[in-house]
Amino acid sequence: MDSSPNYKNYTLDELYDVRDNINREKYPERAKEIDLALSNKMNSPEGKLELERQQEVDKYSTFWRRFWAATVDGIIFAIILYVECLIFGVEYSAQDKFLQALNGVQFAIYVIFMHGYFGQTLGKILMDVKVLNHDTETEINVKQALRRESVSLTLNISWVLIILVVATSLEMSGRISEGLSYAVIGFGILAMVWGVSEFVTMLFNDKRRAIHDYIGKTVVVRT
């Protein structure tokens, strides 16, 4: 015997799922029951509260969108670096740490500019996410964008300076040369820890804020 489920006990998500997957031609009466249950749920105080709660969750569910936005921006800047090498007659190499460090500084400046004036990088525009002020959820300014990106900018500038120091000290030997090697290794570990902590932090708060969002007092939302 084909008995219809009690759709009154379904959550909004479950009702939406059933509605989107039911064969309406085969089960027209059941489809009507689902539509009615969904309408009643959405118009009830509990349903409205549940809908608002779900919309709030969806609004800040930006982890993967931000990941792919960063990937898109990274590809764009890899291309920019390659073109710059062609223009200035420099041999491009993905293994050239100095070139990659300079590209990191350029990238940080680009992020500050785009967030400060538009709230989005090109990658974020494609992924439909935007950086806003956390307290008011309004547009941020360049000063706030700079504060948000301050650690990344500092790390990249420091990396360039360390590489320059090492490059000008190739003839040095003994403890000084050994100390520089340890500095390079230590800085590399520090940069890696920072990068990993950024993504990990996003997983453990409701608004998916990374450490730089806390520093900049920002939040990333879907547009």
Q: Is the pLDDT of residue 131 over 50?
A: yes
Same domain, 76 and 102: yes
CA distance linking residue 211 with residue 170, whole number of Å: 36
Q: Is the pLDDT of residue 199 over 50?
A: yes
Structural domain range at position 17: 11-57
158-167 long-range contacts, CB within 8 A, separation 24+:
158/187, 159/97, 159/101, 159/104, 159/187, 159/191, 160/98, 160/101, 160/102, 160/104, 160/105, 162/187, 163/97, 163/98, 163/101, 164/98, 167/98
pTM confidence score:
0.76
Residue 4 lies in a domain: no
Q: Is the pLDDT of residue 39 over 60?
A: yes
Same domain, 132 and 217: yes
Same domain, 96 and 145: yes
Same domain, 36 and 120: no
What is residue 3's predicted lDDT score, i.e. its pLDDT?
Answer: 61
Same domain, 82 and 153: yes
In this predicted model, which residue has the larger pLDDT, 54 or 117?
117
Same domain, 104 and 81: yes
**The Cα angle at residue 100 between residues 95 and 104, in degrees rounded to 5:** 155
Same domain, 195 and 110: yes
What is residue 150's predicted lDDT score, i.e. its pLDDT?
Answer: 96
Residue 82 lies in a domain: yes
Please give the structure tokens belonging to residue 218.
């920002």
Confidence of residue 4 (pLDDT cuts 50, 70, 90): low
Same domain, 53 and 93: no
Same domain, 160 and 86: yes
Domain count, the chain: 2
What is residue 1's predicted lDDT score, i.e. its pLDDT?
Answer: 43
Q: Is the pLDDT of residue 111 over 90?
A: yes
Q: Is the pLDDT of residue 212 over 60?
A: yes
Same domain, 129 and 153: yes
Residue 5 lies in a domain: no
CA distance linking residue 14 with residue 17, whole number of Å: 5
* % of the chain beyond a pLDDT of 70: 88
Residue 199 lies in a domain: yes
Confidence of residue 46 (pLDDT cuts 50, 70, 90): confident
Confidence of residue 43 (pLDDT cuts 50, 70, 90): confident
In this predicted model, which residue has the larger pLDDT, 192 or 45?
192
Same domain, 48 and 66: no
Q: Is the pLDDT of residue 27 over 50?
A: yes
Residue 3 lies in a domain: no
Same domain, 28 and 73: no
